[in-house]
Structure 1
Amino acid sequence: MEKNVGGFDRTWRLVVGPVLVLAAVAAFGGLVSLSTPVAVIALVAGVVFLATGVLQTCFLNRLLGLDTYHDAGEESDASGGMSEERPQ
């Protein structure tokens, strides 16, 4: 599949995903008081966010026509407005 997750989108997925997984694990271990359905939802959402951040592919982004991977690439290709042509 073609990559469609990049930039800030990827960063927040790689941060929020593990936080949700840790919260769910803590809830299952009795360290945090969350109901079981909430802990399961947090675990599933965390795993999905983490996987889509690592793989840089999101099925929902594809359905909605979102592509933050190429948006991030365009910013880094700009190179501060400098062109590759040699001055004359």
Structure 2
Amino acid sequence: MKSNVGGIDKILRILVGIALIVLTLVGTIGVWGWIGVVPLATGLFNFCPAYKLVGINTCKLK
């Protein structure tokens, strides 16, 4: 897997993922909040399968 997520994109994915998971655990939002695992994982692994499909790369490193 070649990295295709970087910079601000990575930080936002991690923050949104954590926020959704925390809101689910607190009970503010329903079970669908567990979808926050997806942006959290893509931010931590620096790879987004959807970006690969459409040819987007926000990672500056080669």
TM-score, length basis structure 1: 0.64
1:48 aligns with 2:43: no
Gaps of 5+ in 1: 75-88
How many residue pairs get aligned? The number is 62
Out of 13, 31, 47, the residue aligned to residue 57 of structure 1 is: 47
Q: What CA distance in whole angstroms lies between the structure 2 residues aligned with 1:8 and 1:18?
A: 15
Q: Matched residue of 2:3: which SS? A: coil
Q: What CA distance in whole angstroms lies between the structure 2 residues aligned with 1:52 and 1:68?
A: 12
**Bigger RCO of structures 1 and 2 (CA < 8 A, at least 6 apart):** 2
Q: Percent of counterpart pairs with the same letter?
A: 35
Q: Matched residue of 1:69: which SS? A: coil
What's 2:8 paired with? 8
1:40 Cα offset (Å): 2.4
TM-score, length basis structure 2: 0.87
Cα displacement string for residues 50-83 of structure 1 (whole angstroms, at most 9, x for unaligned residues): 100000000011111110013xx49xxxxxxxxx
Ranges of 4+ aligned residues in structure 1 off by more than 3 Å: none
Higher gyration radius (CA): 1
1:17 Cα offset (Å): 0.7
Q: CA RMSD in A?
A: 1.5
